[in-house]
């Protein structure tokens, strides 16, 4: 088996909640946004990271790139632990990692500078990472625009002159400008119309095949996750509860939370009987997480042990790992 391109081990991001006293502040509580998360992605594969809003998906992605500083854990990229590199002062080494790991943001309306032309937007990563190749910048910009389905003359336009789908194409082109090996795609189609979503997803698949890219695809849209992913990791309240190959997870989910998520996928048949599993209650606070399994207050199959002991993420089948005392 080939070495994983990205290997995340025991990654955590905790935010202290401070209480102001008369003279000093003290730590009153802690928000465990990401708690002991581990997964790996093989070269050329796509890991879909799914879960409800607020479960820690984006914080996980930002901690991988050190856009927020991890509280604990390691992130190995191409065999190198990159957390110490970002904590150090070697800017050259940090830039080398950032060139190989790029991010496509969720909102194409907010992620582009409205005062820059598209050409200036694409020129910026080239200026930072490829300053010694200035004579080749314009040719690279033209190639990038054509690669994502736009025209070279679009480089002279501003973001407000484009639709949402076209802006997201620009976001993808910007991420590809410095020839990365891995893209983190943070809800890249959630703000787009259905027909435009399909176009962007097809573009991402085409680019992955053409350039040999590896993806971490973050979404709460399970239909798009099924289309683009090779493996899926399910997150709940800052923790991973299930990881499996995409076909295995959709056919035989083992965690009761995963089954509830899958049951909520819309069925394009108004006459079909509803099989939706309605969860009781609300997602607990990450600042006051329940003891034991974090899902047990909402789980219809919870056992007494579920409220006392947190289940580890253990093997449940070939390539399938599960954190549950009473699997479905």
pLDDT tens by residue, 278-310 = 788 788 888 888 899 999 999 988 999 999 999
> What are 273's two structure tokens?
């009987």
Torsion of CA 59, 60, 65, 68, to 10 degrees: 40
Residue 219 CA to residue 58 CA, distance in Å, equals 9
Query: How big is the CA angle at 48 (ends 235 and 54), to the nearest 5 degrees?
Result: 35
The predicted model gives 109-130 an average pLDDT of 93
- Nearest Cα to 218, choosing from 250, 243, 183? 183
Q: Are 99 and 177 in contact (CB under 8 A)?
A: no
Q: Are 257 and 234 in contact (CB under 8 A)?
A: yes
Residue 143 CA to residue 140 CA, distance in Å, equals 5
> What are 287's two structure tokens?
């600042």
Task: Name the 3-class secondary structure at 183.
Answer: strand
- Nearest Cα to 204, choosing from 163, 151, 141, 148? 148
Give the tens place of pLDDT for each residue, 23-45.
677 777 788 999 999 999 999 99
Q: Is the pLDDT of residue 1 over 80?
A: no
Q: Are 314 and 287 in contact (CB under 8 A)?
A: no
Give the tens place of pLDDT for each residue, 40-71.
999 999 999 999 888 999 999 999 999 999 99
pLDDT attached to residue 178: 94
Q: How confident is the model at residue 270 (pLDDT cuts 50, 70, 90)?
A: low
Domain residue ranges of the chain, discontinuous segments joined by +: 6-229
Q: Are 122 and 173 in contact (CB under 8 A)?
A: yes
> What are 77's two structure tokens?
């990229």
Query: Which H or E run includes 246?
Result: helix 246-251
Q: Is the pLDDT of residue 166 over 80?
A: yes
pTM, entire model: 0.92
Residue 154 CA to residue 188 CA, distance in Å, equals 21
Q: Looking at domain 6-229, which CATH architecture does it have?
A: 3-Layer(aba) Sandwich (3.40)
């Amino acid at each position: 088996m080939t070495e994983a391109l990205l290997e995340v081990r025991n990654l955590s991001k905790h935010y202290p909640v401070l209480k102001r006293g008369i003279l000093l502040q003290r730590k009153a509580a802690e928000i465990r946004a990401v708690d002991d998360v581990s997964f790996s992605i093989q070269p050329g594969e796509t890991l879909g990271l799914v879960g409800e809003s607020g479960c820690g998906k984006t914080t996980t992605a930002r901690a991988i790139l050190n856009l927020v500083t991890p509280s604990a854990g390691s992130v190995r990229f191409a065999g190198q632990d990159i957390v110490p590199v970002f904590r150090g002062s070697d800017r050259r080494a940090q830039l080398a990692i950032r060139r190989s790991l790029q991010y496509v943001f969720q909102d194409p309306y907010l992620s582009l500078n409205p005062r820059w032309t598209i050409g200036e937007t694409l020129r910026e990563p080239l200026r930072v990472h490829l300053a010694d190749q200035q004579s080749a910048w314009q040719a690279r910009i033209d190639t990038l625009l054509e690669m994502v389905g736009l025209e070279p003359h679009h480089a002279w336009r501003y973001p407000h002159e484009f639709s949402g789908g076209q802006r997201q194409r620009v976001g993808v082109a910007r991420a590809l400008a410095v020839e990365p090996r891995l893209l983190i795609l943070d809800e890249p189609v959630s703000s787009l119309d259905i027909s435009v979503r399909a176009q962007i997803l097809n573009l991402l698949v085409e680019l992955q095949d053409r350039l040999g890219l590896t993806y971490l695809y973050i979404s709460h849209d399970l239909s798009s996750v099924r289309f683009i992913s090779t493996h899926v990791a399910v997150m709940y309240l800052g923790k991973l509860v299930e990881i499996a190959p995409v076909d295995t997870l959709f056919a035989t989910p083992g965690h009761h939370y995963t089954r509830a998520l899958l049951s909520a996928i819309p069925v394009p048949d108004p006459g079909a009987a509803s099989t939706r599993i309605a969860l009781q209650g609300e997602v607990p606070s990450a600042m006051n997480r329940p003891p034991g399994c974090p899902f047990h207050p909402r789980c219809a199959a919870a056992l007494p042990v579920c409220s006392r002991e947190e289940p580890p993420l253990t093997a449940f089948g070939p390539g399938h790992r599960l954190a549950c005392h009473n699997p479905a």
